[in-house]
Structure 1
Amino acid sequence: MHSQSNSLPFSPLQDQDASPMTAEISHELRTPLTSIRGALGLLLSGKIAPQTAQGQQLLKIAADNADRLLRLTTTLEDDRKTASNLLSHNALKRLRLENDLFTAWKNRDFEVFYQPIVSTQAHHIRGFETLIRWQHPSQGFVSPAVFIPIAEQTHLIHDIGLWVFEQACEQLQIWQQQFPRESPLMLSVNLSPLQLLHPAFVEEFISRFERYPFAPGSLCVEITESTVIENPVAIATLQALKTAGLKIYLDDFGTGYSCLARLHQFPVDVLKIDRLFVCQQQWGMIQGILQLALSLGLDVVTEGVETDDDVAQMQRLNCPFFQGYWFSRPLPASEATQLLMK
């Protein structure tokens, strides 16, 4: 795992001239988080098995400190005067969410959903994008846009990412056995930039991948443009994954980081055109990207297709594949299976 840090991803103190009481409470907030991270870090590293006496003691340390942190943050929320001097509302909310994320990971309170990628002309399911979901016990659905950055900053992203990848591998194997095809069903998994920089990532990822007898080229990883721009380590990691047999999707293509002159240097198989182009009806831009992809021998998926007109435009432009709510929202595995049966 990444080296652990004793500091929070935000500073709970609002200024440098904090009172002794404020400094003490700040310390009380940091201490349980440090203990939780340390205990879970040892367990997640695989060096200590949870079922051993030492593992059980580490779990107790994590649980006790989680309870301590929850009591403290609840007290601060009730004591508005103290809380307002110490934490902003957003910072306090973030602190509790971070604590809840550690608990959710310990309990595996996540679920993997799948959104279809379909052929534009026939509307046949070509594959699925794998998406993680977290249903918080009191807050309900927490957007990945909220909890994934926290997972990255607390170094949980590597372990959560590997878990999602394993879930995807198991599901793809089930589907390929249940629904044999001339063109095998494909599945893509999103990667965080921090995963690509983890020293053990390639070995751990490929070792899991090689356990499953997938059809060649049917398991894919998705990365954003910003991941590979000016990042030789990430590019080398992706090349290793491609050599091992995975396909590479370049996600959110066309938004901000496009480096068209260097695109041919990246180990990419598929461009995913960002949903913004569809939302803004920039059909000319989409046509340009399609032509670029054709010249480079790349496949294309357009995201964010939600209306009949969007679909008609995809057909007019001869975009091979699309993804979006017009065909289906992201689904749990059971509902995605029902969709494949139709």
Structure 2
Amino acid sequence: MDFKGKLFSYSGLKSINWRTRPNGLYCFNYHRIGDSNCAEFDPNVFSCTKDEFHLHLQFFKQHFTLISIEQLKTIIDSKQSINKRYALITFDDGYLDNYQLAFPILKAENVPAVFFIATDFIDQKVFPWWDETAWIIKHIDIDQQFVDFWQLPNEFLCANETEQIRQILLKLKIESDLSLQQKLIELNKFVKDSSVLEKRKRSLFMSWDMLREVEESGITIGSQTCSHQVLSHLTESQQKTEILNSKQRLEQELQSPICCFAYPVGSEDSFNDITLDLLKSSDYTMAFTFVSGVNTKVSSSKYTLSRYSIDGNCDKRKIQTQVAKNIFLERLKSLSPFTK
């Protein structure tokens, strides 16, 4: 832990920064609901269990004013300062458990939310690249040859399986010399038993009928491209296909306009100026990153809205700590150029 992290931990600043958190839009993002300990695929995309998610929603209701995308759009269009602490609940990717586990709780608690969908996965027995990567890691013998090929530190050999998956996924996200498909081909070469690869074919994602039901109940549907690739690694033409085709497919299937977008991976380097220009010209009215922070000026940052990642089966205390620490670090940064 660095000096600023230790200062936050040991000085009792969590309570102060939580109580004095600024007005603005707080976006909380989920991926999968369930028990990560039972995960056949990537355990790192599990946000929390069903019971914990229920507690999260009650916590958000207590401390924020929960809003929908339509209400957010009104706030953005007004171009006025935000005078409340708003919260928006979002889900990425479109996993089946979003429908089976999260959706009934959202309905029961009458909480608006947004489901961002990668359209190539809907109604298909396909693996997203991160789950395929996790499956491969779980079914190969990690040896020195693997470490050397992927230029990983030797400590990788001693890491637990979950950490190995996390590290190799980070490597795939950062490396831009090869396409994702090429990277998966290289990973698959380490699988010695080809029969293993056939066992993974199943549906992990919602169907179009499920999405229609979700939307009819009041949940907003947004786009997260077609194939969930890192947009900044693609050509302008490829980005345009991902951004436009996903919007058109969603609008065709749901018979509703699609106005919001979430960047795959969502880090600051996962999209570029080309991406922003394409979103604006494609009639998206807002877009969400995966960068932590409070959105205090939503009108001027409507294509780079920040979200807090809910992961690691965190409880409400960890959510509180995550938000408070982020606010503390931002305030510390603003005090002096020497703290940056």
Question: Relative contact order: is structure 1 or structure 2 higher (C-alpha 8 Å, sep ≥ 6)?
Answer: 2
Q: Shorter-chain TM-score: which interval?
A: 0.3 to 0.5
Given the two structures, how large is their TM-score scaled by the length of structure 2? 0.35
* TM-score relative to the length of structure 1: 0.35
Instruction: Point out the structure with max Rg over C-alpha.
Output: 1
Higher strand fraction (1 or 2): 1
